[in-house]
Amino acid sequence: MKSSPYTLLLLCCLGAVLTGCSGGDLSDLDEYMAEKRSRPGGIIAPIPTFKAYEAFAYSATTLRSPFDRPIEVREIAQLQAIAAIKPDENRAKEFLEQFTFDSLRMVGTLERDDTSWTLIRDPDGGVHRVRTGNFLGRHHGKIVEMTDTYVSVVEIVSDGTTDGWVERPRTIKLSGL
């Protein structure tokens, strides 16, 4: 193995530095330490006593938050929302409503005769043109907005009650972004 002249010079300098650090007289350090050990020890102050923590009992936890609407108003709003939101079961189903929402992919956009279309790929590989107002997904998803990079859909899903429905916004982003 061939060593460079720089490596050899570095080793020589390192050896000289380490040689200068060894074999020194440490008697002054020993005297200093002996002087410090011979002094009497100081008095250590006692640990301060701490006052016990007094827990604060917040008595307003059972009251309504000032940021929430009163219960009566909330119940009326829920009843109005339940009555207003309902899927149209008599409407003819569109082709893309047979697929789950998560299985659909946006693959591009198209403009023809001043009409903008979004291209959606189904799980079987078919590509379909859709526009605002079309439906897709199994939960009555209606397209409400289209851009070059995403499609906004509002689905109508059951809220778990007998005849209650809620709207759920979803988006499909352009594949590859």
Q: Is residue 30 a part of any domain in this protein?
A: no
pTM: 0.53
Using CA atoms, how far apart are residues 108 and 120, in angstroms rounded to an integer? 7
Check residue 24 and give its pLDDT.
67
Query: How many residues belong to the chain?
Result: 177
Cα 88 to Cα 76: distance, rounded to the nearest angstrom:
23
177 residues of the chain, pLDDT tens digit each: 566 788 888 888 887 777 766 666 788 888 999 998 888 877 888 888 888 888 887 777 777 677 766 656 555 565 555 556 788 889 999 999 999 999 999 999 999 888 999 999 999 999 999 999 999 999 999 999 999 999 999 998 887 777 778 888 999 999 875
Structure-token match 């923590």, residue found: 53
Q: How far apart are CA 175 and CA 102, in angstroms?
A: 12
Residue 42 lies in a domain: no
Domain that includes residue 135, residue range: 82-173
Please give the tally of structural domains in the chain: 1
The answer to whether the Cα torsion of 10, 11, 12, 15 is positive or negative is positive
Sign of CA dihedral 87, 89, 92, 94: positive
Q: Looking at residue 88, what is its pLDDT?
A: 87
Q: pLDDT at position 76, please?
A: 55
- Cα distance between residue 110 and residue 125, in whole Å: 18
With beta carbons less than 8 A apart as the criterion, state whether 101 and 137 touch.
yes
Note the pLDDT of residue 106.
95
Output the CA–CA distances (angstroms, integers) from residue 42 to 6, 36, 37, 45, 47, in the order listed. Answer: 55, 12, 12, 9, 15
Say how many C-beta atoms besides its own lie within 10 A of residue 153's C-beta: 25
Contacts of residue 70, defined as CB under 8 A and 6 or more positions apart, other chains included, come to 64
Residues 14 and 72: their CA atoms lie apart, in Å, by: 84
Q: Enumerate residues 6+ apart whose C-beta is below 8 A from 106.
A: 118, 119, 120, 121, 150, 151, 172, 173, 174, 175
Question: What CATH number should be reported for the domain holding residue 130?
Answer: 2.30.30.830
Query: Residue 73 has what pLDDT?
Result: 55
